[in-house]
Structure 1
Amino acid sequence: MAGWDKGRATIDALIGSGEIERVPASRHAAEAELARARTHVDSARQLLAKDPEGAYTLAYDAARRALAAVLQNQGLRVTSRGGHTAVYEAVRAQLDPPLGSILRPFNRMRARRNEVEYRSSEAPSVTPEEVAADVPKAEALIELAEKAVPNMPRY
């Protein structure tokens, strides 16, 4: 990356393992993804009392879309092999430090969303309070992506 070497070894390893692939870089596609992320967060807020599980899934998906937007702008996309873990690893490698405290909740939200989607009988139900606590974390990830996209060069 011209002018952005942080995380290069991790990105190269993820490309080499087939967890990330190169695609045409697109600021337009990244911004569209961020707009969808914002819509998901708004929907999550509206649904949190009535459908906490659906709201949590939307909040998590908003966060995932935000991180994917960073990669899309760079000309990178996770594959089905890499999945949601690879999007986190790729963005974290490039932005942590200093932005680890904003990024870290994503991985916990990912694990919780998996419990919701692929419910284990021991997994507690999602509460409106849990959604309300994590929606601001998703919003912080969207804000991070909105700031990163214009400043991160193509890979």
Structure 2
Amino acid sequence: MHDDVSKLIRDQKIEEISTSRETIQVLLDDATRHIASSQTLAVSADMHGAFQLAYDSTRKSCAALLNYYGYRATNRGGHFAVFDCAGKLIDSISDELDGLQETRRLRNAMEYPGDTRLFLNSDDVSEAIDLAVRVRRIARSVLTFED
């Protein structure tokens, strides 16, 4: 186990679980559908919906990776723990998630109004969708099962 992952467990941000192929498949299927839906919404007036679905797709792809390795985020860890742990487990995910802070900030501003920047532009949405596609692709390449 990676030392960084051990720290997340000690800090109760993630916990160990039994891997579930079914759960992993559901998460990846959701991620795929969320990408398709976000691409559809991106050409409509619902930029917030498109952005939220792209963000959720990225999160679900990362959650599938955590499950594959026998982990899940706790309520204490939340979305950040999902992304943090996935990045600690898979270097290529870590590279992709380097720019996630801005995406998370925008998502939080939409979910918890109070931030001064609540307006998304098409570039924000396109970047979130592109990130979701790349992370899902990496997750699918990592997630293999022996029968």
Q: Scaled by the length of structure 2, what TM-score is found?
A: 0.88
CA distance in 1, matches of 2:9, 2:19: 15
Answer with 101-110 or 86-95: which moved more. Answer: 101-110
Answer with 126-135 or 47-56: which moved more. Answer: 126-135
Equivalent pair of 1:29/1:73 in contact (CA under 8 Å) = no
Query: Which secondary structure does the structure 1 equivalent of 2:143 belong to?
Result: helix
Uncovered stretches (5+) of structure 2, i.e. residues with no partner: none
Who is 1:86 aligned against?
A: 81
Equivalent pair of 2:106/2:118 in contact (CA under 8 Å) = no
Who is 1:11 aligned against?
A: 5
Who is 2:103 aligned against?
A: 109
The 5-angstrom pairing of residues 68-147 of structure 1 reads: 68-96=63-91, 98-147=92-141
CA distance in 2, matches of 1:102, 1:92: 9
| Paired positions, count | 144
Q: Give how far 1:94 is off.
A: 1.8
Equivalent pair of 2:88/2:94 in contact (CA under 8 Å) = no
List structure 1 runs of 4+ shifted beyond 4 angstroms. Answer: none
Q: Scaled by the length of structure 1, what TM-score is found?
A: 0.84
Who is 1:52 aligned against?
A: 47
State the Cα deviation string for residues 73-121 of structure 1 (Å, max 9, x = none): 122100110011111111111222x553322233332222111111225
Specify the code of the residue in structure 2 equivalent to 1:12. Answer: S
Specify the code of the residue in structure 2 equivalent to 1:63. Answer: T
